[in-house]
Amino acid sequence: MKKITQILISFIGLCLITGISRFPVLAAVPVPTTDETAYFTLDYYGQVKKVSVVKGVDLNSNTQITDYGQYSQVTNMSTLDKPEINSDHLVWNLDEKTAPKRFYYEVTPQDNNLEIPWNIDVNYKLNGVPVKAEKLAGASGLMAIDVTVTPNSKVNSYYKNNFILMVGMMSDSNKNYSFSAPGSQQQSIGSYQAAFFVALPKQSETFHFEIGTDSFESSGVIAAMTPATLGQLDSIKQIKAHKNSLVSASKAIDSTLDDVFDIMTGMQSGLQTTTDGLNKLNEVRQSVGDTGNDTINNLNQTKDSLNTLQSRLNSFNYIISVSPYSATASAMGIDSGLSETSNLLDNLSGTLGGITGLFDNGNGDKLNDGVKLSLNGASTLMSDMNNALNKTDDLKKNKQIISSVVKDEWNRFDKDLGILDIDTSAKKVSFTSSKNTAPHSLQVVLRTQEIKVDKKAKLAAIEEEKDNRSFFDRLKLVFTTMSKTIKDTF
């Protein structure tokens, strides 16, 4: 397993390299700068068994270090100096003569407790059946390992918003006949295959690994958590800065469109009423047109009657003027009254003639046609506008669909994945206490318990099996062994 361990260390180093900044902190006065790596040893199922934090400090000619945190154990990994341990911090006073350029020490958090961005849960299946990990060593068949990662709501917002998770497993192709992890990034390292997945901030995922083997062993599930510090992610901060403006603009557009649709809905009702009114006017026009024809005929008949009456009055007036009673009629004003009546009838007949002449010359048809065309055109226009406004409901629905899509996408990136909250320039927060100076780099390394065959127990089982064999079974084994030896020799 030593070779596997070495490969795992190399793999973890490869995973962590993207999260380690290489630029020194600039300051007027040289101060110590610290890199922190938290190591978690997990059981088969992802429960924490042991936690330790290794701190590497570039002393920058300093010999005193103050580290805030509550620790149950502190180990000097570089010198023989002993720390001064207090309830909430420790102090290193290093010997100037023996102080190294870079100083390492390891601390164990009190109660073995340290909150990290994700909680991890691991479960196992053998040939599709759930099984305890303790029974898998040396098992034959298709092993399925599911690793479920869930964001930890208890952590500091810096870890919650800025850390990226990598989860992986390795398989020895010389011992296993298949290895798959759908959706993973896979790499080959000699006879070993590595597969790892990535989870973004606030993301919950289940990662699936499958190993086909005749004798199952596993170096465990490995995971690494690092801050998102790649330069390519700097643009996310700009997107975040514009997010509120974009959301406000979207809301303003929604409000404006709602007002427009309300106006269009009101217009729809008015246009429908106007269309109905124009149709009624057209019916009246038709009725007036029909009545007008009858009226013209009546006017012509009246004019003819007036002409006849005027002719009779003129005759009557002539008779009176030549009769013996002409003087009396004149004295009584009958002749003048008849003359005035005749003149009035003549004027009325002329007026009626003018009216009938107006319509008899085709002007009536022209007026009727003009009104008809105007009413029909206006009615058609109003009807088309009304039909167009009938699409208002469809437009409202489509606007709501578009708005929902935009909001869902924002939520997916902002809440479900949290990538809009990544701030590559954010000040780092120490694992052990926020009172500590911002670390130069941070990383978390986790590994579940190995599943391996106990070779001593296996040999004992073989010996016990031999002891239980019959005489003939043992004799057969002797000849089989001799035959194999001769064959290998020649």
* Residue 195 within a domain: yes
Please tell me the predicted confidence (pLDDT) of residue 485: 41
- Do both 373 and 436 map to the same domain? no
pLDDT single digits (tens) 320-371 = 565 555 555 555 555 565 565 656 556 556 665 665 555 555 555 555 555 5
pTM of the full structure: 0.59
Residue 194 burial (C-beta neighbours within 10 Å; 0-12, 13-18, 19+):
buried
Q: Taking Cα atoms as reference points, which of 91, 120, 86 lies closest to residue 32?
A: 91
Residue 487 lies in a domain: no
pLDDT of residue 298: 59
Terminal C-alpha separation, the chain: 34
- Are 224 and 290 in a shared domain? no
Domain-located, residue 398:
no
Residue type, 418: G
Q: State whether 67 and 215 are in the same domain.
A: yes
Indicate whether 274 belongs to any domain: no
Residues 309, 190 within the same domain: no
Indicate if 327 and 444 belong to the same structural domain.
Answer: no
- Position 76 in a domain: yes
Range of the domain at 349: 282-385
Same domain for 209 and 60, yes or no, is yes
Query: Considering its fold, how many domains does the chain have in total?
Result: 2
289 and 186 in one domain?
Answer: no
DSSP 8-class letter at 415: I
293 and 172 fall within a common domain: no
Domain final position from 364, 385, 406: 385
Residue 488 lies in a domain: no
Are 38 and 93 contained in the same domain?
yes
Q: What is the pLDDT of residues 124-134, one digit of tens each?
A: 999 999 999 99
Q: Is the residue at 103 inside a domain?
A: yes
Q: Are residues 196 and 345 in the same domain?
A: no
DSSP 308-352: HHHHHHHHHHHHHHHSTTHHHHHHHTHHHHHHHHHHHHHHHHHHH
**10-residue stretch averages of pLDDT, the chain, 490 residues long:** 50 49 51 95 95 95 94 95 94 94 95 91 96 94 97 92 92 93 89 90 93 94 86 54 57 58 56 61 59 60 59 60 55 56 60 57 54 57 60 61 62 61 83 94 94 69 53 52 44
C-alpha span between 158 and 422 (Å, rounded): 9
- Are 214 and 148 members of one domain? yes
d(CA 448, CA 398): 51
434 shares a domain with 372: no
Joined tokens for residue 389: 């406004």
The answer to whether residue 314 is domain-embedded is yes
Per DSSP, the three-state class of 205 is strand
